Each structure stands twice: as structure tokens, then as C-alpha cells.
Amino acid sequence: MATKSFFVTKNLPEKFFKNISKKFPMEMWPNSNEEIPRQKLLERVSGKTGLLCTLSDRIDRQLLDAAGPQLKCISTLSVGYDHIDIDECKRRGIVVGNTPDVLTDTVAELTIALLLATIRRLFEANQALRQGKWPAGWGHFFMCGSMIKGSHIGVIGGSGRIGRSVIKRLRSFEPAKISYTSRQEYPEMFREFNAEFYPLDRLLIESDIIIVCCSLNDSTRRLISTEQFKRMKSTSVIINTSRGSCIDQQALYEALKSRKIAAAGLDVYEQEPISMDDPLLSLDNVVLLPHIGSAAKSTREQMIQMALDNLEAGLEDRPLLASV
Ligand code: NDP
Ligand code: DGY
């Protein structure tokens, strides 16, 4: 039988590979400053039994064909798996691992940070100070924003791991109400967090702050577009730390520019990295972060370890720690 081997699409620290590399021959994309070009990825995956990838690698039929029928396990260094054609993997008997839980609290903290930065205008205020625009004395309406306390917060995908973790934290800010939406109602959400299940339209109409925490799938792609922005309050704020494609980015730009909604805080985009020509960059009522939801060093290390443990299990025909 041919030796099992694997390919890693990112340049990750060698220390994580000490054990697994003794068991299986491995290759890794060596360049930490440059994404692996698509053509190179198709070449390098050929003949491998395992693949460790990230959310920036598109795992589709073309890639699976290029890899060949011996490919048995794909392990992604992310909890999200919208970049992988899961149905096609299932059809070919390829197991897919991901990294839930280890990043949940990290992403929830970033979501709260982004929310506060957006509603209290932290980046604008910081910029104003540096540009000498601090009004003489103390301007009593200078850089005024809004508060979580007393607000209605609607969480799209609030029943998920990250959604719950966000809601748990938000409660300490004493919002007037928390509602959530998902494809089904979860009665424990009311018992544990006093969070009420709303259909999406009601959540959009009634919320002051909308937080997008759902996974990206066929039912959430461009879930929020022009019609949905029309339903939202003109004072409302939207935060997205899930996937950029859950929101129609052009419609978001128009809603922000025309002040149909008040502000947005984004960690994720339809295209990543966002183009420096993107019109969103011209607006002052949006806070833009470069997809750093899980970017705490200890979390990223746990994600790498979990992705490798998944890969090792897959190559050894054992159940993965977490599989899709
Ligand atoms: P979970 O699978 O635990 O949660 C996903 C949630 O999405 C569930 O509540 C699910 O509820 C909900 N959902 C799915 N479809 C819909 C729909 N049509 N309408 C409303 N809700 C829906 O995943 P996690 O909480 O662990 O992660 C969520 C996402 O966060 C990931 O998929 C990833 O895209 C993103 N993420 C972003 C990070 C960043 O760096 N910014 C870091 C980590 C994750 P139900 O199934 O009942 O519909
Ligand atoms: C994920 O895990 O899905 C993130 O987007 C990166 O941590």
C-alpha cells in the first residue's frame, strides 16, 4: 500500500509537526508572506492522503480531482467550513475536520470589542485626537455614540456556540432585550439567557443592535441585503463577525452612506483581503477589522494543534476530534 502523506497550505511553526511528521511524510507551503497560488496548490496536493488547509483555500471538485482518489482527510484550521464542498467530500468518502470551541470565547470577546468600538466611535475618536480635532475645553456632544444598556440586541445565529457566548457576555451590559434568530427555536435560550426567538424580519425591525454570528450556508448567503436594511431602524448598528457573504456588501455600503442605518462594525468581507478601492473605506460610520476574530496567540496555537490532531486521526482511520 502507498505511504500516506499530507500537505499543509500555510507556513506553520515546525514545533507543531514533531510527532505527526514522524508518522507521515509531509510537505508544507514554505512562504509565510505569500498565499499559495491556486495552480501550485493543485500541484502540491496531488497524491496526498491528507490536507491541512485554511479558510482562504477553496476546496472544490477541481481541487479534489487534482488531489486524486487517495485523499482521505481534509482538516481546516477554522471552525467555518463554507470554503469546502462538503457534499462532494462526503460523496468521495473524505472526512473533514474543523476547530470548534477552542476559539468560541476569543471570537465572542472580539465581537463585543467591535460592538463597543462601533457604537462608542473609538477609532474615530482616536483619529480625531491625533489630528488635533479635540475641541477646546470639553465638547459635551463631541464623539457621542450609543449604549448597549437599555438597547434591544438581535443576534442572527444567536443559538450557535459563538452566538451564545456573545449573548452571555452582553447580558452583563444590561440590554433592555435580547432576541435571536436561527433555523429553529431553542427553548433553553430563553431559560438560560432570557433571549427570545424572533423571525428574522421582526428582529431586524425591532433591534437597535444586530449582531451576525451565523454560519455561512445556502440559507444565509446575502441574508441581509437592500430589503432587510429597509426594515432596520435608522439608528441601528450592525456587527458582523461571521462571514462577509452573509451581508450584501454593496447594499451595506448604500445603507451606511445614505444613513439608512447608523453604523456597522465588520471583521469579515465578501472578498478578503478587502480591496483598498472598496467604497466602504471611504465611510466614517463603519469600523473595519481584518478578520481577527480568533486572533489571540493561545487560541491560534490551540487551533493548529486541533487541526493537526484531526488530521492525524483521519490519516489513522480514527474518529476526528471534530468533524463536519
Ligand atoms: P455554530 O455552528 O455553533 O453556529 C452557527 C449558527 O448559525 C447556529 O446558531 C445556526 O443555527 C445558525 N444558522 C445557520 N443557518 C441560519 C439561518 N439561515 N438563519 C439564522 N441562523 C442560522 O458555529 P460557531 O458559532 O462555532 O461559528 C459560527 C461562524 O462564525 C462560523 O461558521 C464562522 O463562519 C464564523 N467565525 C468567524 C470568525 C472570525 O474570525 N471572525 C472566527 C470563528 C468563526 P441553526 O442551525 O439552528 O439554524
Ligand atoms: C473560523 O475559524 O472560521 C475563522 O473565521 C477563523 O478563525
Beta sheet of 26-28, edge-to-edge order = 26-28, 6-8, 50-53, 73-76, 95-97
- Ligand 2 centre and the CA of 269: distance in Å? 13
Which of 94, 58, 73, 92 shows the shortest CA–CA distance to 7? 73
pLDDT reported for residue 62: 98
Question: Within 10 Å of residue 251's Cβ, how many Cβ atoms?
Answer: 18
Phi and psi at residue 73, to the nearest 5°: -145, 130
CA 108-111-113 angle, 5° bins? 110
State if residue 80 touches ligand 2 by the CB under 6 angstroms criterion.
Answer: yes
pLDDT digits (tens, 9 = 90+) for 38-55: 999 999 999 999 999 999
Cβ atoms 99, 79 nearer than 8 A: yes
What pLDDT was estimated at residue 137? 83
CA dist 144 and 154 (Å) reads 22
Residue 306 clears pLDDT 70, i.e. is over it: yes
**pLDDT-derived band of residue 189, with 50, 70 and 90 as boundaries?**
very high
What domains are there in the chain, each with its CATH number?
6-100+298-315 (3.40.50.720), 104-288 (3.40.50.720)
CA 287-250-205 angle, to 5 degrees, is 75
State residue 154's pLDDT score.
Answer: 99
Q: Is the pLDDT of residue 2 over 80?
A: no
Residues with CB under 6 A from ligand 1: 79-80, 100, 103, 107, 156-157, 159-163, 181-184, 213-217, 219-220, 241-243, 267-268, 291, 293-294
Atom of ligand 2 at shortest range from CA of 77: 2
Is the distance from the beta carbon of residue 97 to the nearest atom of ligand 2 less than 6 Å? no
Q: Are 303 and 10 in contact (CB under 8 A)?
A: no
Q: If you average pLDDT over residues 247-262, what whole number do you get?
A: 98
Closest residue by Cα to residue 148 from 180, 124, 172? 172
CA atoms within 13 A on the CB side of 250: 0
pTM of the full structure: 0.98
pLDDT at 138: 86
Going by alpha carbons, the residue nearest to atom 6 of ligand 2 is 78
Can you say how many angstroms the Cα of residue 201 is from the centroid of all Cα atoms in its chain?
23
Ligand 1 pocket test, candidate residues 82, 101, 182, 204, most atoms within 8 A of CB: 182
Q: Would you say the CB of residue 55 lies under 6 angstroms from ligand 2?
A: yes
Task: Provide the grid cell at 198.
Answer: 424572533
Up-side HSE of residue 83: CA atoms within 13 Å toward CB? 22
Average pLDDT over residues 254-274: 98
Give residue-wise pLDDT tens across range 52-92.
Answer: 999 999 999 999 999 999 999 999 999 999 999 999 999 99
Q: Is the pLDDT of residue 1 over 70?
A: no
Q: Is 104 in the pocket of ligand 2 (CB under 6 A)?
A: no
289 lines ligand 2 (CB under 6 A): no
78 lines ligand 2 (CB under 6 A): yes
Q: Mutate which of 81, 242, 267 to test ligand 1's pocket (most atoms within 8 Å of Cβ)?
A: 242
Catalytic residue ranges: 291
Query: Which grid coordinates belong to 91?
Result: 460523496
Note the pLDDT of residue 168: 98
Helix (H) or strand (E) holding 229: helix 226-231
What DSSP line would sit under 121-178, residue for residue?
Answer: THHHHHHHHHTT-PPSS--TTTT----STT-EEEEETTTSHHHHHHHHHHGGG--SEE
Name residue 195's beta-bridge partners.
178
Average pLDDT value for the chain: 98
The answer to whether the CB of 9 is under 6 A from ligand 2 is: no
Which run of H or E residues covers position 23? helix 20-23
pLDDT digits (tens, 9 = 90+) for 106-120: 999 999 999 999 999
Ligand nearest to the CA of 55: 2
The three three-digit cell numbers of residue 149, written as one number: 444598556
Q: Closest Cα partner for 104 from 49, 178, 157?
A: 157
